Amino acid sequence: MEDRGRLISLTDALEINPSANLGDSVEVVILPGGTTKYLLGTDQVGRDMFSRLIYGARISLIVGLITLAVGGSVGVVLGLIAGWYGGWVDELIMRLVDVLLSLPVVLVALVFVVALGQSFAIIVAVLALWIWTRFARQVRSEVLQLKTRDYVALARVSGASIPRILLVHIFPGTINTLIVVATLQVGIVILLESVLSFLGAGVPPPTPAWGSMVSDGRDKLAEFWWISTLPGIAILLTVMSLNLLGDWLRDKLDPRLRQLE
């Protein structure tokens, strides 16, 4: 693990300390043999849980942001096209959305991992393939409303090209919706990545990921509860915080909701 990653953690997340048994943890955890060297204890091979939680957070956020960037970009483009052109173009894109939404993303990811191997790129590709449909649906609904506005009609009369109308006049009107959708979906992406890592189809080891950390301690949960519990709490707090942020942004950015206050 690179040294520049130790801005918060005190030890290497991949460093194995054979002398650190599963009881090594801070004294406030009330475990025998507790020490302050490992603030949140160690896992079954002596790796620092605190450092692994921090590095696992980095992995989850990177996966979430890259997935949103790729899937969101594809969804926005296809949503603009579907909403503007309508007709068979709209039907084709929306039926593709319906098909992808009907597929179980976890099962699809497992198939890709078995066929192509476990890698960071495979996980991002599968999640992006699933997430763009959310953006496409929301953007399409916004475009259907915005394209009937007077300023869009004036732009068409003035001879503006369709790409310019979509980019300059319609896309800015969808930004508030996109912010809310992205905030809500990033929590779902992190949760899905954790599920895939738990099943062994996520980020390949030895890279620490919250889902794989939960899986590592599932057979020792009764005696060494912190191995699975701590990353599980991290997933819970992160997803819940992002969902609450998304709800708050929706209330603040949606003019219809502001009128009800």
Q: What is the pLDDT of residue 12?
A: 58
Nearest-angstrom CA–CA distance, 235 and 238: 5
Dihedral sign computed on CA atoms, order 142, 187, 202, 7? positive
Whether 16 maps to a domain, the answer reads no
Whether 89 maps to a domain, the answer reads yes
Q: What is the pLDDT of residue 2?
A: 45
Pair 81, 144: CB distance under 8 Å: no
Whether 58 maps to a domain, the answer reads no
Whether 79 maps to a domain, the answer reads yes
Q: What is the CATH number of the domain that holds 140?
A: 1.10.3720.10
Whether 11 maps to a domain, the answer reads no
Whether 218 maps to a domain, the answer reads yes
Q: What is the pLDDT of residue 38?
A: 65
Whether 116 maps to a domain, the answer reads yes
Q: What is the pLDDT of residue 37?
A: 64
Mean pLDDT by 10 residues, the chain (261 residues): 49 58 47 58 73 84 89 92 90 92 85 82 88 91 88 86 88 86 86 85 79 80 78 89 83 60 51
Q: How many domains does the chain have?
A: 1
- pTM score, two decimals? 0.79
Pair 127, 68: CB distance under 8 Å: no
Whether 86 maps to a domain, the answer reads yes
Cα–Cα distances (Å) from 231 to 23, 37, 108, 210, 235, in that order, read 17, 19, 25, 5, 6
Could you tell me the residue range of the domain that residue 197 belongs to? 64-258
